[in-house]
Homo-oligomer: A and B are copies of this chain.
Amino acid sequence: MYIDQSKIPQATAKRLPLYYRFLKNIHASGKQRVSSKELSEAVKVDSATIRRDFSYFGALGKKGYGYNVNYLLSFFRKTLDQDELTKVTLIGVGNLGTAFLHYNFIKNNNTQITLAYDIDKDKVGKVVGDVPIFNLDELEESLPEDVTAAILTVPSQVAQSITDRLISKGIKGILNFTPARLTVPEHIRVHHIDLAVELQSLVYFMKHYPIE
C-alpha cells in the first residue's frame, strides 16, 4: 500500500518515533498482535489518537483482534528510513552536549552523532562516548559532506553565527537547545527545545490543566 507521507499530519508524524520504539519492544517479546488500548498504556497517548494516527498509516485495527505487529513494524521501518543512517554533528561539548554523546542513539535509531565540535583546547582531540571532538575553528575544513544534521548545545550568544556556518556547509536540520530563536533559510528545518520553556510550560499545565 502506498502512503503519501506528506498527508500525515505533523502532530501524527511527531509520534512516529515513539510508536516505532514500543512496537520493537512488543515484537521482541514475541507478540503478533497489539490493541490500541495496550499501545495506549505503553506510550501514554490516548487510544482514540492512536487509532486516528494509525489510520493514516493504512493500518486498520480489527475489533477484538488489534493491529498486526509485523505490518506496523515494517511500515514504521520504511517510513522512518531505518535502513538509512543520518549522520549528525554536535556543537558544544558542555554538560548537555556530553549527555548527548553518552546517549547511544544508534541502538534505537537511524541517527548517529559521528563527530562533535568545541572551542575548548582541553576537549579538542578527545573522544567522548566514541565520538571524536574537533576544533570549532576548523569546522569548515573538517565537517564531512555526509553529515546533514546538527545538535546545537552552545551558549545562545553564538548560536546564530554557528548556525550560519553550519548551513553554508550543507547542514539541513538543526536541533536547537539554546534559548536563541534561529533565523534560517526556508529549506532548513529547525526543532527547538528550550529547557526553561519546557519547565515553565509544565508548571503552567500543572496549575491550569490538572487532569487531562
Q: Complex: how many Å from CA A209 to CA B173?
A: 11
Which residues of chain B are near A131, meaning CB under 8 Å? none
Q: Complex: how many Å from CA A99 to CA B97?
A: 9
Q: Among the listed stretches A66-74, A134-142, A191-199, which one makes contact with chain B, having 4 or more residues with CB under 8 Å of it?
A: A191-199
Complex copy number for this chain: 2
Q: Beyond the given A10-B209, A172-B206, could you list 19 further A-B residue pairs with CB under 8 A, ordered by the A residue number?
A: A13-B205, A17-B196, A17-B201, A42-B181, A81-B203, A81-B204, A100-B195, A109-B196, A109-B199, A109-B200, A110-B203, A111-B203, A149-B206, A151-B199, A172-B210, A189-B205, A189-B209, A191-B198, A193-B198
Where the two chains meet, the residues of A that have a C-beta atom closer than 8 Å to any C-beta of B are 5-6, 8, 10, 13-14, 16-18, 21, 41-44, 79-81, 86, 88, 94-96, 98-100, 102-103, 105, 108-111, 148-149, 151, 172-175, 179, 181-183, 186-187, 189-212
